[in-house]
Amino acid sequence: MGLCLAVIRMGMYTVVFVVFAVIGACGHVLFFMSRSWLLKWISFFAQVWARVTCMVFNIQIRVEGDVSIKPGSLIVANHVGSPDIFVLGACFKGFFVSKAEIADWPLFNWLARLGKTIFADRGKRHQVKALIADIEMRLNSGHCVILFPEAQATDGTNVVPFKSAVFEAAVLARRPVVPVEISYQDDHRPTIAYYGDSFISHIVALLKTTRLPVTVTVFPQILPGPDRQSLAEKSYEAIRDKHAGSHPV
């Protein structure tokens, strides 16, 4: 049953991948002279793609809080696994910040580039300023930016303290930060969403999973403060406290 479901989903998602890759490419052709219209096109269809993907994988999202946030907000969330992107993309219209390694992954890199993903290489100090500037530009253009300030995936049992550097973009753009907590309820420890050491085996397990329930908690916005550290700490504390209550030791 699990293998059959995995094969069916793989076939369905191949179709989804091709369709939205074509849509993304068309957007780049139609609006190559207008960056603002291109970003609007991509952000709209990226949300549609995420919602369709959640349907294919039967990811059932329950939202606590208000997802109608201000355009140009910096959305920060804890990071558990690969479904996080589909879940947050389905809830919010915006652009993701992703680790630089994805830019080298076959197929995924193409879709990520078509989707105007912002690539981050935190290991190179000289690129951090460019990353902050890119995020600031998107925020000032009225587009939300979604990122995982833990800078790593966890097994879902706790939340790692946030890296504060990227919060500088919200300070410079004078845009609010919206903390979001992701919590999977699939009775696995760790959750099936966590990809651990083997990404391939994780994808196969995800394809075989009949249903993946997840709760997304949207906290009230945090107004931009004078420094990035305070924004990072307030966001981290809000998500950590809620996560600790949902995942008692």
pLDDT for 42 beyond 80? yes
CA distances from 154 to 117, 158, 196 (A): 22, 7, 8
pLDDT of residue 186: 87
pLDDT at 24 over 90: no
What span, in angstroms and rounded, lies between the C-alpha atoms of 26 and 214?
A: 33
- 203 pLDDT more than 70: yes
pLDDT band with cut points at 50, 70 and 90 for residue 148 = very high
CATH topology of domain 2-246: Glycerol-3-phosphate (1)-acyltransferase (3.40.1130)
Q: Please write the tens of the pLDDT for every residue from 62-107.
A: 999 988 899 999 999 999 988 999 999 999 999 998 876 565 555 5
- The confidence score (pLDDT) of residue 240 equals 93
What's the pLDDT score for residue 215? 95
In terms of DSSP H, where are the helices of the chain? 2-30, 35-56, 83-91, 108-114, 125-140, 168-173, 199-208, 228-246
Residue 74's pLDDT is: 97
* Selection from 217, 241, 229 nearest residue 75 by Cα: 217
Q: What is the pLDDT of residues 209-231, one digit of tens each?
A: 999 999 999 999 999 877 899 99
Burial-class residue 178 by CB neighbours within 10 Å (0-12, 13-18, 19+).
buried
| Tokens standing for residue 198 | 């083997």
* Segments making up each domain of the chain, as ranges: 2-246
Per-residue confidence band for 190, with pLDDT thresholds at 50, 70 and 90: confident
The mean per-residue pLDDT over the stretch 141-150 comes to 94
- pLDDT in the model for residue 95: 93
As given in the structure block, the two tokens for residue 178 are: 């919206």
Give the 3-state DSSP-derived string for 64-122, with helices as H, strands as E and coil as C.
Answer: ECCCCCCCCCEEEECCCCCHHHHHHHHHCCEEEEEEHHHHHCCCHHHHHHHCCCEEECC
